[in-house]
């Protein structure tokens, strides 16, 4: 049963990560952003399960909602960090002197 629960959390993260990559046009590959949203969905859902007194093998709608919230937070943080440290200037090629 825990595999089904972790799989549902990962599916929520994949869905939100896919939507976020379609909304935010990025020049780098979208795979890392999706991985970040999946990981944040799993981590937030697991932490909420432990704090809320649920077992990690319980399938509850509340935990799925928190997985979605965690995935959205992960996507927002990833975009903020990536846009802060990635140069947006057009790269020019130096020809000759």
Give the predicted TM-score (pTM) of the model: 0.74
Q: What is the pLDDT of residues 17-44, one digit of tens each?
A: 888 777 776 656 677 888 888 888 888 8
Percent of the chain predicted with pLDDT > 90:
0
- The pair of structure tokens assigned to 71 is 């995935």
Query: How far does the chain reach from its first CA to its final CA, in angstroms?
Result: 66
Phi, psi of 27 (to 5 degrees): -80, -25
Mean pLDDT by 10 residues, the chain (97 residues): 75 84 69 85 86 76 86 85 67 67
CA 48, distance to chain mean position in Å, is 16
- CA dist 69 and 33 (Å) reads 15
Percent of the chain predicted with pLDDT > 70:
78
Cβ atoms 13, 40 nearer than 8 A: yes
Identify the pLDDT of residue 25. Answer: 66
């Amino acid at each position: 049963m825990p595999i089904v629960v972790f799989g549902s959390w990962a599916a929520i993260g994949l869905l939100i990560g896919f939507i976020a990559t379609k909304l935010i046009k990025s020049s780098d590959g979208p795979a890392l952003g999706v991985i970040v949203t999946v990981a944040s969905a799993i981590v937030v859902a697991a932490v909420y399960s432990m704090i809320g007194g649920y077992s990690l093998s319980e399938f509850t709608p509340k935990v799925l909602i928190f997985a979605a919230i965690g995935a959205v937070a992960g996507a927002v943080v990833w975009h903020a960090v990536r846009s802060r440290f990635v140069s947006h200037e057009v790269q020019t090629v130096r020809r000759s002197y």
